[in-house]
Amino acid sequence: MAPSRDAVLARLLELIQPFNAKAVPLAEDTRFADDLEFDSLTVMDLVANMEDEWDINVPLNLLPDLETIGQVADAIVKLKAGA
């Protein structure tokens, strides 16, 4: 069964926390590049963890469109539904 968006978001926040070196408060509209200042290597590690958590492939082509935490949660829900 596909997880609910709330469940995905809650778990996503937990996955982001270890990379959140500057302890930026996390919300739906927090941006990875501008607010969290994640570089491409950090993004790659985080994405790999998300892929393992939900057993999905997050295609590289999607990444440029995923700017905020909320957008990532939406994408995961969609990928899970499609799998």
Partner 1 sequence: MTDLLAKFDSIRAEYDFLKGTGLSDPFGVVMERVLSPTRAIIRGRETILVGTYNYMGMTFDPDVIAAGKAAMDTFGAGSTGSRVLNGTFATHVAVEQALKDFYGTSSAIVFSTGYQANLGMVSTLAGKDDVILLDADSHASIYDGCKLGHAEVVRFRHNDAADLEKRLRRVPAGKGKLVILEGVYSMLGDVAPLRDLVAVSKAAGAMVLVDEAHAMGFFGPHGRGVYEEQGLEDQVDFVVGTFSKSVGTVGGFAVSNHPHFEILRLVCNPYRFTASLPPVVAASAEASIRKLMTATDKRARLWAASRRLHASLKGAGFRMATETPESAIIAVLMPTQEECVIMWSALLDQGIYCNLSRPPATPMGVYLLRCSLSSEHSLDDVDEITRRFVAARAATQALAA
User: Given the rule CB under 8 A, which residues bind partner 1?
Assistant: 39-41, 44, 48, 51-52, 55-61, 82-83
Minimum CB separation of residue 44 from partner 1 in Å reads 7
Q: Give the residue with the Cβ less far from partner 1, 6 or 55.
A: 55
Q: Give the residue with the Cβ less far from partner 1, 13 or 78.
A: 78
The closest of 80, 83, 65 to 9, measured between CA atoms, is 80
DSSP string, 1-52: -PPPHHHHHHHHHHHHGGG-TT-PPP-TT-BTTTTS---HHHHHHHHHHHHH
Q: Give the residue with the Cβ less far from partner 1, 27 or 83.
A: 83
